[in-house]
Structure 1
Amino acid sequence: MAGPEYDSEIKQLTATMHTIEQVLDLPAMKREIEDLGVQVAAPDLWDDQANATRVTGRLSLLQGEVDRFEELRGRIADLELMVEMANEEGDAESLAESEKELGKIKKAVEALEIRTLLSGEYDEREAIVTIRSGAGGVDAADFAEMLMRMYTRWAERNKYPVEVFDVSYAEEAGIKSAEFAIHAPYAYGTLSVEAGTHRLVRISPFDNQGRRQTSFAAVEVVPVLEQTDEIEVDENEIRVDVFRSGGPGGQSVNTTDSAVRLTHIPTGIVVSCQNEKSQLQNKASAMVVLKAKLLAVKKAEEAALKKDLKGDVAASWGDQMRNYVLNPYQIVKDLRTGYESGNPQAVFDGDLDDFLEAGIRWRRGAEKADDN
């Protein structure tokens, strides 16, 4: 890459960063950080644990965002200096290194730009993901487990903690359903574009005649609530069942009835949790998930847009949002955005960022179209 091309690329990155700074309103973020810092320093902060958790969590989130922006702006300034010195000295090796760094910076700026598109009411929250097997028998159960692994691998790549609440294993292979949280800022805004029906086409490993099988799984994504969120649950409207935790193939993993299933009678929403050792802890975790789902329903009803928050999906023909084809050719294609990958194995290993970016941009475009 020649010198003038570097200059043009760096100027474009600088301009994009300026736009991002305006959208994020960095001065306002810094003022809020200063105010939260004063609150954190107060000796009575932890007298109100719910408020203390909210304040410290918000401070950590904002500080991380500002640090991320400032670090990236510093990398662009360093790159500009590196290119200038390499051009003056005719240092081809340094120019080659600069080109590599330019590619990395461009990807980081794109990711930060995507973050500015996550401005929904709950986009900055952590996420609870539910996966259910749909039509397709044992292949659908196996596919549901593949999707769970895909999302947990994506979280691992990004160093995001995953907390599994419940897994219901199928008899022969795979899972009937799974529920887990991804603890990361903006996890809900990022992963909410994954809600919908996913479709897998492959030669079934469970068919002794080696026939091609189509199967489906549904993905639902809801935001994790904070103490300040207003969602009241009447205990009289909840049925509580306790049972023994189980593993794959019906294997017992717990000798006591510590797993908890909550059924919200008015809506029919059912939530289970078996990851904790005590019944009390499992009930508390299940209540977190139940409240998140009830809030999603409430907000969806208010906006008359149930699909946007919760995903009204049947996990069958006609409403799929992404196809995973392993035979007769190899491709993963998002039917909304048109984005596709010819490497399904990489996608199932958690390489989802490009699909997520395309989905977020598509959603923003759809929102703008609705506004007009």
Structure 2
Amino acid sequence: MLDIDFSARLRAIRSTYADIAAVTDLAKLDREIAEFEEQAVAPGLWDDPAAAQKVTSGLSHRQARVKKLRGVEQRIDDLEVLAELAQEMEDADSEREVMAELELLEKAMQDLEVQTMLGGEYDERAAVVTIRSGAGGDDATDFAEMLLRMYLRWAEHHSYPAKVLDTSYAEGAGIKSATFEIDVPFAFGKLSVEAGTHRLARISPFGSADKRQTSFAGVEVIPLLEEATEVDIPELDIRVDVYRSSGPGGQSVNTTDSAVRITHIPTGIVISMQNEKSQIQNRAAAMRLLQTRLLLLQKEQEAAKKKELAGSVTASWGDQIRSYFLYGQQLVKDLRTGHESTQPDSVFDGEIDAFIAAGIRWRSLMKNQ
């Protein structure tokens, strides 16, 4: 029979949900959805593709947030009904089902609570993630590919659409770099805590001496900004190179020069794009990403200037954020939060929600100190 503990836990879930709904302001989201829906059916919307993209993206992001919140609310109501039926029937299997759903709902509430901490300027945006191999030779390029798979598996677990935009394969194992996009609300807010240097320590599969090898990979996360198209980039400030897309081992994957590399001469920023079907599409995608990077760079410079004028120094994240140990002790440990897992295989298979949640809580704590 369901006990008092179940009732207390269910009340706690309802109370937490009410707080989250109030902070999220569902009524405001409903009004914004109605406004976007009206704009989405307006004649001539796609005469301005940039504006149309902003409307459709804004609409889909808000609809996804409302659907998630109201879906949780419905699950709470359903659980209450299921619990009443299980008690009336005095059915052990039904009671086990009720307790299993209660635990899932508690986890869902924790995830929603973490999301309420994502109040940064760009946290609601989609994310563009770039992974680059660092020191460590073949182990580093292999590690970079392992991280790429980890994040793509994380997206797959959550049914998030992930699109690989560019991949530079290493001559030996793995990849030199890869860039991918995850276009769901709050993707940037969540994944931004993954930015930094990741370190892998293991017995190298590429050496013959069975010695421990340490290798590094860098993760960069930036938000996908519609307004980045407002950044003006003079043609004289960029160099555009075209080449054939390549796959593992340097093999060509098409017969035309469709891949595009854009270099922003004043800053040295380089953007490569090869996964669209045509050179025109790759150039448009690369320019959008370049505009985003330049906008963020401008904001970072402005923020740095303000800090300099204020004469204050805030706590920094540091560069190295996480270590993965695949020898002796099997361990993955975050160096900022202290969160760890003794199941590195699961972590590399995309089970990183606990690390992300711990990172968001840690960041929120640092901001409030």
The TM-score normalised by the length of structure 2 is 0.92
Using the TM superposition, give the Cα deviation of residue 304 of structure 1 relative to its aligned residue in structure 2, in angstroms.
Answer: 2.1
Match of 2:15 in 1: 15
Match of 1:55 in 2: 55
Q: Say what the alpha-carbon RMSD is for the aligned residues.
A: 2.1
Please tell me whether residue 25 in structure 1 is matched to residue 25 in structure 2.
yes
Match of 1:359 in 2: 359
Q: How many angstroms apart in 2 are the aligned matches of 1:346 and 1:205?
A: 20
Q: How many angstroms apart in 1 are the aligned matches of 2:101 and 2:283?
A: 49
29-38 or 355-364, larger mean C-alpha shift: 29-38
Q: How many angstroms apart in 2 are the aligned matches of 1:342 and 1:283?
A: 43
Please tell me whether residue 290 in structure 1 is matched to residue 290 in structure 2.
yes
Letter in 2 for 1:146: M
1:140-155 aligned at under 5 Å gives the runs: 140-155=140-155
Letter in 2 for 1:295: L
Match of 1:78 in 2: 78
Q: How many angstroms apart in 1 are the aligned matches of 2:271 and 2:118?
A: 28
Task: State the identity %.
Answer: 56
Checking the alignment, whether the CA contact within 8 Å between 2:204 and 2:212 is kept in structure 1 is yes
Using the TM superposition, give the Cα deviation of residue 2 of structure 1 relative to its aligned residue in structure 2, in angstroms.
Answer: 4.2
Please tell me whether residue 93 in structure 1 is matched to residue 62 in structure 2.
no
Letter in 2 for 1:163: K
Checking the alignment, whether the CA contact within 8 Å between 1:23 and 1:116 is kept in structure 2 is yes
Match of 1:309 in 2: none
1:176-255 aligned at under 5 Å gives the runs: 176-227=176-227, 230-255=230-255
Checking the alignment, whether the CA contact within 8 Å between 2:164 and 2:275 is kept in structure 1 is yes
Figure out how many residues of one structure are paired with residues of the other and give that number. Answer: 360
Q: How many angstroms apart in 1 are the aligned matches of 2:139 and 2:28?
A: 51
Letter in 2 for 1:70: R
Match of 1:104 in 2: 104
Q: How many angstroms apart in 2 are the aligned matches of 1:325 and 1:286?
A: 36
Q: How many angstroms apart in 2 are the aligned matches of 1:266 and 1:351?
A: 40
Q: How many angstroms apart in 2 are the aligned matches of 1:116 and 1:290?
A: 30
Task: Indicate the SS of the match to 2:226.
Answer: coil
Query: Could you list the per-position Cα deviations for residues 261-291 of structure 1 after superposition, in whole angstroms to 9, with x for gaps in the alignment?
Result: 1111111111111112322222112112212
Q: How many angstroms apart in 2 are the aligned matches of 1:50 and 1:188?
A: 21
Distance change >3 Å, CA 41–CA 255, structure 1 → 2: closer
Checking the alignment, whether the CA contact within 8 Å between 1:204 and 1:212 is kept in structure 2 is yes
Using the TM superposition, give the Cα deviation of residue 251 of structure 1 relative to its aligned residue in structure 2, in angstroms.
Answer: 1.5
Letter in 1 for 2:75: R
Task: Indicate the SS of the match to 1:76.
Answer: helix
Checking the alignment, whether the CA contact within 8 Å between 1:6 and 1:83 is kept in structure 2 is no
Please tell me whether residue 338 in structure 1 is matched to residue 328 in structure 2.
no
Distance change >3 Å, CA 328–CA 270, structure 1 → 2: same
1:306-325 aligned at under 5 Å gives the runs: 319-325=319-325
In structure 1, list runs of 5 or more residues that go unmatched: 306-311
Distance change >3 Å, CA 90–CA 162, structure 1 → 2: closer
Checking the alignment, whether the CA contact within 8 Å between 2:61 and 2:184 is kept in structure 1 is no
Q: How many angstroms apart in 2 are the aligned matches of 1:148 and 1:34?
A: 37
Q: How many angstroms apart in 2 are the aligned matches of 1:191 and 1:282?
A: 24
In structure 2, list runs of 5 or more residues that go unmatched: 306-315
Please tell me whether residue 262 in structure 1 is matched to residue 262 in structure 2.
yes
